[in-house]
C-alpha cells in the first residue's frame, strides 16, 4: 500500500472531488481528517466505505478561514491519529460574479472560500509537517487559474491566487522536505451548466473541445492526487499540472471530434 498509515486532511469531503479522493487514498491505506460542511451527514455511505477499508477517520466542520479553528483540529487529530502527512485543499466555491456588478461581499466570500482557506490550511499544516521534515500539500484547483470563465471573475481570481500561493509555498516549505503542487482540473460532467455564460462560448459543445472527445472525472483527479501524495513524486515541487485532456488547447471548432 502506497499510503499505509499516512494521515490525509481533505478540506471539502462533501464534494464529488472529496469523495473520490478519499476513496482512492483509502484503498492505499490512508487515514483521514475530513472537513465536512454537513458534519458527515451527506457522506455517510463514503464514511462506511472508509471504515470497511480499515481507514480511521475524524470528521469535523471547522471554519477553514480561521487559523485558531484549523490549528485546534490539527492538534486534536495529532493526538488521535498523528501529524498530517498530506493536505488536499479542494475547496471550489463558484458563484456568478461580473466585474461590472459584483458587490464586495460576494467577491470576499469566493476569495475566502477558495484562496484564504488555502493559505490558512497551508500555514497550519506546514508547521506540523516542518517538525518531521516531510509532507505533501496538494491544491485541487482549476484551469480557470489560467483562463477566464466568462461567468465568475472572482472564481478565476481566487484560483489564480492559489497558483501563486503554491509557487511561494513550494520554495519556502520545500526547505523542510514538503512538496507543494497544484492540479488544474479541466471540464468534468456538468461544467457546461456550472460555467454557463452570456459572453463566452467556451463551454459550448465542451466535451468535443477535448481532442479525444471525452471528459475527465473526479476519479482521474484522485489518481493524480495519489501520485503526488507518494514518494514517487518526491522531485515534483511547485508544479502546476493541467489535467484537462487538452481542452485549453482547442481552437478550431470544425476540427472537433464529433459525428
CA distance 130 to 167: 17
Secondary element (H or E) of residue 31: strand 31-35
Specify which residues 33 forms β-bridges with. 9, 58
Q: Which pLDDT belongs to residue 251?
A: 87
User: Residues with Cβ < 8 Å from 74, sequence gap 6 or more?
Assistant: 9, 33, 84, 124, 125, 128
Question: What share of residues in the chain are helix, strand, coil (percent, to 5)?
Answer: 45, 15, 35
Q: What is the pLDDT of residue 186?
A: 98
Find the radius of gyration of the CA atoms of the chain.
18
Could you list the pLDDT tens digit for every one of the 259 residues in the chain?
999 999 999 999 999 999 999 999 999 999 999 999 999 999 999 999 999 999 999 999 999 999 999 999 999 999 999 999 999 999 999 999 999 999 999 999 999 999 999 999 999 999 999 999 999 999 999 999 999 999 999 999 999 999 999 999 999 999 999 999 999 999 999 999 999 999 999 999 999 999 999 999 999 999 999 999 999 999 999 999 999 999 999 988 888 898 7
The secondary element (H helix, E strand) that includes residue 242 is strand 240-243
Domains and CATH numbers, the chain: 7-255 (3.40.50.720)
Query: What pLDDT sits at residue 75?
Result: 95
* pLDDT at residue number 255: 83
Residues 6+ apart with CB under 8 A from 192: 203, 204, 206
- CA–CA separation, 182 vs 27, rounded Å? 22
Relative to beta strand 57-60, strand 135-142 is: unpaired
What does the pLDDT read at residue 252?
86
Query: 237: which 3 cell numbers?
Result: 515541487
- β-partners of residue 240 are 182
**How high is the pLDDT of residue 253?**
86
The full DSSP string for 133-184 is T-EEEEEEEEGGGTS--SSBHHHHHHHHHHHHHHHHHHHHHGGGTEEEEEEE
Q: In the prediction, which pLDDT does 259 show? A: 73
Amino acid at each position: 500500500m502506497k499510503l499505509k498509515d499516512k494521515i490525509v486532511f481533505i478540506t471539502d469531503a462533501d464534494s464529488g472531488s472529496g469523495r473520490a479522493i478519499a476513496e482512492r487514498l483509502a484503498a492505499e491505506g490512508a487515514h483521514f481528517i475530513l472537513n465536512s460542511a454537513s458534519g458527515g451527514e451527506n457522506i455517510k455511505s463514503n464514511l462506511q466505505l472508509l471504515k470497511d477499508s480499515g481507514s480511521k477517520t475524524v470528521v469535523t466542520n471547522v471554519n477553514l478561514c480561521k487559523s485558531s479553528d484549523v490549528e485546534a483540529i490539527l492538534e486534536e487529530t495529532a493526538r488521535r491519529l498523528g501529524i498530517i502527512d498530506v493536505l488536499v485543499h479542494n475547496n471550489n466555491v463558484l458563484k456568478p460574479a461580473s466585474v461590472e456588478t459584483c458587490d464586495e461581499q460576494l467577491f470576499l466570500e469566493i476569495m475566502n472560500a477558495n484562496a484564504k482557506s488555502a493559505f490558512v490550511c497551508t500555514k497550519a499544516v506546514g508547521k506540523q509537517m516542518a517538525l518531521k521534515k516531510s509532507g505533501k500539500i496538494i491544491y485541487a484547483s482549476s484551469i480557470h487559474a489560467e483562463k477566464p470563465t466568462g461567468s465568475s471573475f472572482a472564481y478565476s481570481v481566487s484560483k489564480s491566487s492559489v497558483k501563486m500561493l503554491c509557487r511561494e509555498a513550494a520554495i519556502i516549505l520545500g526547505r523542510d522536505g514538503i512538496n507543494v503542487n497544484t492540479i488544474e482540473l479541466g471540464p468534468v460532467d456538468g461544467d457546461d451548466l456550472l460555467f454557463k455564460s452570456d459572453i463566452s462560448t467556451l463551454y459550448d459543445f465542451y466535451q468535443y473541445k477535448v481532442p479525444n472527445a471525452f471528459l475527465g472525472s473526479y476519479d482521474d483527479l484522485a489518481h493524480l492526487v495519489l501520485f503526488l501524495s507518494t514518494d514517487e513524486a518526491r522531485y515534483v515541487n511547485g508544479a502546476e499540472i493541467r489535467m484537462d485532456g487538452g481542452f485549453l488547447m482547442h481552437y478550431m471548432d470544425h476540427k472537433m471530434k464529433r459525428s
